[in-house]
């Protein structure tokens, strides 16, 4: 099972990234635990300054931009 985190304060880009993650999981059929982190103090623990951030299994894969569904699917099956 993949562990996915989307970090962001709740802006439109962060919400789009989160929704794209859900769609990518649905399309690939991969089992994943998805967590959305919006708390600034919690985000600071990951030492990231630009959001949104997409983490898979505790590794930052995308930061500072919206990852589209196709890109996320590629990251999930890699």
CATH assignment at residue 11? 3.40.30.10
| Catalytic residue numbers, as ranges | 11, 14
Residue 21 structure tokens: 């993650």
CA dihedral sign, ordered 60, 62, 67, 70: negative
Residue appearing with tokens 């993650």: 21
Q: Which domain holds residue 21?
A: 2-77
Q: Domain count of the chain?
A: 1
Q: What pLDDT score was predicted for residue 74?
A: 96
Mean pLDDT by 10 residues, the chain (78 residues): 95 96 97 95 90 96 96 94
**Tell me, what's the pLDDT at 52?**
96
Q: What is the pLDDT of residue 33?
A: 97
Q: What is the pLDDT of residue 48?
A: 86
Report CA Rg, the chain.
11
> What pTM was computed for the model?
0.93
């Amino acid at each position: 099972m993949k562990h996915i985190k989307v970090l962001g304060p709740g802006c439109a880009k962060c919400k789009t990234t989160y929704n794209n993650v859900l769609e990518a999981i649905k399309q690939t059929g991969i089992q994943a635990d998805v967590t959305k982190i919006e708390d600034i103090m919690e985000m600071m623990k990951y030492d990231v300054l630009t959001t949104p951030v997409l983490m898979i299994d505790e590794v930052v894969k995308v930061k500072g931009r919206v990852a589209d569904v196709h890109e996320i699917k590629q990251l999930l099956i890699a």
